[in-house]
Amino acid sequence: PQIIRREDYRAPDWFVPEIALDFDLDPTATRVQATLKVERNGAHDRPLVLNGDALAAESVLVDGVEAQGWTMDGPDLVIPLTGESHTIETVVTIAPERNTQLQGLYASSGMLCTQCEAEGFRRITFFPDRPDVLSKYKVRMTGDKARFPVLLANGDPIAQGDCEGGDAGDGRHWAEWHDPFPKPSYLFALVAGDLVANKGHFTTMSGRKVDLGIWVREADLPKTDHALHALKLSMAWDESVYGREYDLDVFNIVAVDDFNFGAMENKGLNVFNSRYILADPDTATDYDYDAIAAVVAHEYFHNWSGNRVTCRDWFQLSLKEGFTVFRDQSFSGDQGSKAVKRIEDVRGLRASQFPEDSGPLAHPVRPDEYIEISNFYTATIYNKGAEVIRMMSTILGPQKFRAATDLYFDRFDGTAATCEDFVRCMEEAGGVDLTQFRRWYSQAGTPRVSANLTQEGGKARLKLAQSVPPTPGQPVKEPMVLPLKLKLFGGVTGRPMCDEQLVLLKDAAQEIVFENLSETPVLSINRGFSAPVIVETNRTAKDLAFLSAHDDDPFARYEAMQQLMLDTLVAAVTSGKGEHGAVIEAVRNTLTDASLDQAFIAEAVLLPSDSFIGDQMGVVDPDAIFAAREALRGDLGKALNAEWRAAYDGAQANRFEYSPAAKGARRVKTVALGYIAASGAADAAELAFGQFEAADNMTDRQGALTTLVNGNSEKRTEALESFYQRYQSNFLVLDKWFQTQALSSRDDTAQAVEALANHKDFTLANPNRARALIGAFSVNQRAFHDVSGRGYRFVADQLIALDRLNPQTAAKLVPPLGRWKRFDAGRAAKMRAELERIVATPGLSKDMFEQASKSLD
Ligand code: DPP
Ligand code: ZN
């Protein structure tokens, strides 16, 4: 397959200022007529190349006359043109019902919908399918009125009516939508279906009244209030925090069941995976509620960071995604506890981005090349990209950062921009030089910082050093700019010994001296996770326990506790025996600290995951890690039995409420339940089953189910069966049923998951379901890495099958197999063998080829 390179970027040969699309909708044969106004870009004699993907041109007209001399170059349509501007008309017929890739126009649960990012538009019609070609769209749809009573597209509704006369009296109707804002093809959307809307209004800061609609199946209507509310909050937040106002009279969101992404920011018509819209207490967890608000916000924020200012080419993807993730993270932090949100985001970064950055698929935030762009919707582009924006906002400070984003939106409105354009705005409005900082865009790999504090009398010396590990194609790295927030605390009194400082570590090594110290200092560093790096310090277990109780930055408290747990667990894995006293006392301290918020407590007392412990080790030993972690969990459960029970009882909230306090209580409750079960208490299963049965919300119910599913009591089967019976017709909740079993810590999980793949409710055709079983299983470190290799074989079989249906979703599930270098020779050989089997599969997609072949290196 062909490698696309960033350095080969060339401006488009032809622009398309206007396009009119006419759809005759039918699941088996949809006719698409496209009329493009094209304009030559500068003086050249190159033909017009329109991208296609599995399209056949039924007719090609130039200026109303049948075109002469057009050819196909592979999937693309090539039309020689003589003038400066022309009108091109093409007709194709596509079959949405047979589109299992879920890219382009496809059918989902009886409706028709589109997904065009990144290159799906070329599966709908011939077009220069690249983000720097911006066009005004006029869309007309005609379809069966009973089947598709609702016809939606981008922009504003212009007209609609019933078809008349002749055979058309056959119950068909039509609608026309115009989008006044020029946009790239990846933001095109159309939806046709039997839908109803939860409608609302938002009045913008300049007084524009916007009609809002969340479109779903009628039965799902009661589950849409939360999403609608989140949308209004997002619109208000973007006005007050970034000065960004919505620009159309209509904003619609449609929920669809089969969707590759989480959601899509199409102009004025967002299309969502239904899991990020539908919520009620009985079916959605607090985590789901939070994720819905975050994704609604994310897609809404794209209206400016992505749509009004879009990307010049796909190498700039993080320009919109990193920035928009940063925006949605800030929004979510403002809705509840900023500290807890930051902890969650850092945990996510460590779980997904750090492993990516240290593995065979590591790539810079602005990649240099790709085979298939779909493979680059990664944690690096999104989450590390967000950290890069966050660091610039830290360096600039809030006022200058806002001035810089204003400048960026103002200067690039209506255009397709680059990461470089963004950084230059930061420099100009911030009055800073970000020359060296730009390495964050070009160098892959997670920087490592060592921080050693030594004391001599009243003087302390902090030695900082940094290094960036080699990554594929980048053997040698230059030092980065690392904004490190730090502070010293008195080891005796616990008093701060200085104000928080922002140190910009730019060299490979740097020394900072602190004078006139009256007591032994303890170092608090990378506070708030000010830089996305791995920090190694010479702090003792005592220092970490001290900080976990006394640091005045909640993130740093959490971090100290995590480090203490991690050090303890790594030592236990290596030595085979654990010294648990320090962790137990630190957890006791936090758990019983009445000044702390419950959600924070629940986060802080959770042990690092198996995988994160594995990430710290030269060779991952899944069984030893599991044993060490279980031993610590057991000891924590037993030693703090009274405290867990008190926390559990204290968190027995009465009735469901979606508020930060009630959410915190529920979180503590299930964490405490987990520790009570880990202690081996005789009544644990009963307690869990009681919670399972009495729950008036999914958070409590799923939390109890998880505890039971990890255990061996007979209540386990009863709970699984009861859950299945209760929710078997709700496919989103059934995903939880699959996922909980795939994540189980039991010995028989690999067998159980193989059996679940043959369950009548399992299907690879639905991406959520595939991810719930295959995706979840492959991050279950112990079960997936079963020494027999059966987990690898099972996942490879599933991915090969999934690739035939949906390459994009299949390819995203390859990375766990690509981590073979981190395991012992026996496991590594088995993992490689499966990757080789995938690469050798006839008819493999380029998506899978890229992921699997790179994973072998
Ligand atoms: N829909 C995906 C997102 O919002 C890609 N743009 O991140
Ligand atoms: Zn996005």
Question: Residue with structure tokens 């995706």?
Answer: 775
Separation CA 190–CA 120 (nearest Å): 13
Residue nearest to atom 5 of ligand 1 (CA): 264
- Strand intervals (E) in 204-357: 209-216, 250-256, 263-264, 269-273, 309-311
Ligand 1 neighbourhood includes 328 CB (under 6 angstroms): no
Ligand 1 neighbourhood includes 263 CB (under 6 angstroms): yes
Mean pLDDT of 214-237: 98
Ligand 1 neighbourhood includes 321 CB (under 6 angstroms): yes
74: left (phi over 0), alpha (psi -120 to 50) or beta: left
- pLDDT band with cut points at 50, 70 and 90 for residue 169: low
Q: How far is the CA of 297 from the centre of ligand 2 (A)?
A: 10
Q: How far is the CA of 364 from the centre of ligand 2 (A)?
A: 18
Query: Which residues fall within 8 angstroms of residue 63, CB to CB, at 6 or more apart?
Result: 86, 87
**CB of 678 closer than 8 Å to CB of 584:** no
Kindly report, residue by residue over 516-573, the tens digit of the pLDDT. 999 999 999 999 999 999 999 999 999 999 999 999 999 999 999 999 999 999 999 9
Kindly report, residue by residue over 253-277, the tens digit of the pLDDT. 999 999 999 999 999 999 999 999 9
Query: Which residues fall within 8 angstroms of residue 135, CB to CB, at 6 or more apart?
Result: 16, 17, 18, 19, 36, 182, 183, 184, 185
- pLDDT band with cut points at 50, 70 and 90 for residue 577: confident
Mean pLDDT of 507-522: 96
Give the closest residue to 192 by CA, choosing from 24, 52, 35.
24
The partner residues of 246 in beta bridges, in order of sequence, read: none
Ligand 1 neighbourhood includes 372 CB (under 6 angstroms): no
1-194 folds as Immunoglobulin-like (2.60.40)
Q: How far is the CA of 342 from the centre of ligand 2 (A)?
A: 19
Indicate where the chain has its CATH 1.10.390.10 domain(s). 309-442
Q: Which of 264, 318, 325 to mutate to test the pocket of ligand 1 (most atoms within 8 A of CB)?
A: 264
**487 secondary structure, DSSP code:** E
**32 secondary structure, DSSP code:** E
Q: State whether CATH 2.60.40.1840 applies to domain 450-550.
A: yes
298 Cα nearest atom in ligand 1: 4
**43 secondary structure, DSSP code:** S
Residue nearest to atom 4 of ligand 1 (CA): 264
Please say whether the dihedral angle defined by the alpha carbons of residues 346, 347, 352 and 354, taken in this order, is positive or negative.
positive
Q: Which CATH class is domain 309-442?
A: mainly alpha
Q: Give the DSSP letter string of 794-824.
A: HHHHHHHHHHHH-HHHHHTT-GGGGGGGGB-
Separation CA 518–CA 525 (nearest Å): 20
Which ligand sits closest to the CA of 305? 2
Phi, psi values for residue 674, rounded to 5°: -60, -40
- pLDDT band with cut points at 50, 70 and 90 for residue 667: very high
Q: How far is the CA of 320 from the centre of ligand 2 (A)?
A: 7
Residue nearest to atom 6 of ligand 1 (CA): 264
Which ligand sits closest to the CA of 378? 1
- Kindly tell me if the per-residue pLDDT of 647 is higher than 70: yes
- Kindly tell me if the per-residue pLDDT of 469 is higher than 80: yes
Burial of 556 (0-12, 13-18, 19+ CB in 10 A): buried
Which ligand sits closest to the CA of 260? 1
Q: Which of 114, 234, 270, 377 to mutate to test the pocket of ligand 1 (most atoms within 8 A of CB)?
A: 377
Active site residues per annotation = 299
pLDDT at 576: 82
Angle CA(776)–CA(781)–CA(787) in degrees, nearest 5? 120
Burial of 584 (0-12, 13-18, 19+ CB in 10 A): middle
Kindly report, residue by residue over 101-159, the tens digit of the pLDDT. 999 999 999 999 999 999 999 999 999 999 999 999 999 999 999 999 999 999 999 99
263 Cα nearest atom in ligand 1: 1
Indicate where the chain has its CATH 2.60.40.1840 domain(s). 450-550
Q: Which of 302, 304, 373, 381 to mutate to test the pocket of ligand 1 (most atoms within 8 A of CB)?
A: 302
**CB of 699 closer than 8 Å to CB of 664:** no
pLDDT at 170: 85
Ligand 1 neighbourhood includes 261 CB (under 6 angstroms): yes
320 Cα nearest atom in ligand 1: 6
**CB of 794 closer than 8 Å to CB of 788:** no
What is 728-857's CATH number? 1.25.50.10
Secondary element (H or E) of residue 706: helix 698-709
Cis upstream peptide for 118 (omega within 30°): yes
The chain-wide mean pLDDT, for the chain, equals: 97
Q: How far is the CA of 260 from the centre of ligand 1 (A)?
A: 10
Residue nearest to atom 7 of ligand 1 (CA): 321
Q: How far is the CA of 577 from the centre of ligand 2 (A)?
A: 45
pLDDT at 578: 85
Residue nearest to atom 2 of ligand 1 (CA): 264
pLDDT at 369: 98
Kindly report, residue by residue over 324-369, the tens digit of the pLDDT. 999 999 999 999 999 999 999 999 999 999 999 999 999 999 999 9
- pLDDT band with cut points at 50, 70 and 90 for residue 654: confident
Q: How far is CA 515 from CA 488, 496, 558, 811, in A?
A: 12, 14, 28, 55
Kindly report, residue by residue over 183-221, the tens digit of the pLDDT. 999 999 999 999 999 999 999 999 999 999 999 999 999
pLDDT at 478: 98
SS (H, E, C) 542-581: HHHHHHHHHCCCHHHHHHHHHHHHHHHHHHHHHHCCCCCH
Ligand 1 neighbourhood includes 186 CB (under 6 angstroms): no
Query: Which residues fall within 8 angstroms of residue 8, CB to CB, at 6 or more apart?
Result: none
Ligand 1 neighbourhood includes 117 CB (under 6 angstroms): yes
pLDDT at 287: 98
Q: How far is the CA of 263 from the centre of ligand 1 (A)?
A: 6
**CB of 810 closer than 8 Å to CB of 848:** yes
**CB of 272 closer than 8 Å to CB of 299:** yes
Phi, psi values for residue 141, rounded to 5°: -125, 135
Which ligand sits closest to the CA of 321? 2
Phi, psi values for residue 682, rounded to 5°: -65, -30
pLDDT at 612: 98
pLDDT at 164: 87
- pLDDT band with cut points at 50, 70 and 90 for residue 461: very high
**373 secondary structure, DSSP code:** G
Kindly report, residue by residue over 18-40, the tens digit of the pLDDT. 999 999 999 999 999 999 999 99
Q: How far is the CA of 301 from the centre of ligand 2 (A)?
A: 9
- pLDDT band with cut points at 50, 70 and 90 for residue 168: low
Mean pLDDT of 792-813: 98
Q: Which of 321, 326, 375, 381 to mutate to test the pocket of ligand 1 (most atoms within 8 A of CB)?
A: 321
Indicate where the chain has its CATH 2.60.40.1730 domain(s). 1-194
Separation CA 628–CA 569 (nearest Å): 6
Residue nearest to atom 3 of ligand 1 (CA): 264
Q: How far is the CA of 262 from the centre of ligand 2 (A)?
A: 9
Q: Which of 261, 300, 311, 383 to mutate to test the pocket of ligand 1 (most atoms within 8 A of CB)?
A: 261
Question: Residue with structure tokens 């200012």?
Answer: 309
Q: What is the pTM of this model?
A: 0.99
- pLDDT band with cut points at 50, 70 and 90 for residue 652: confident
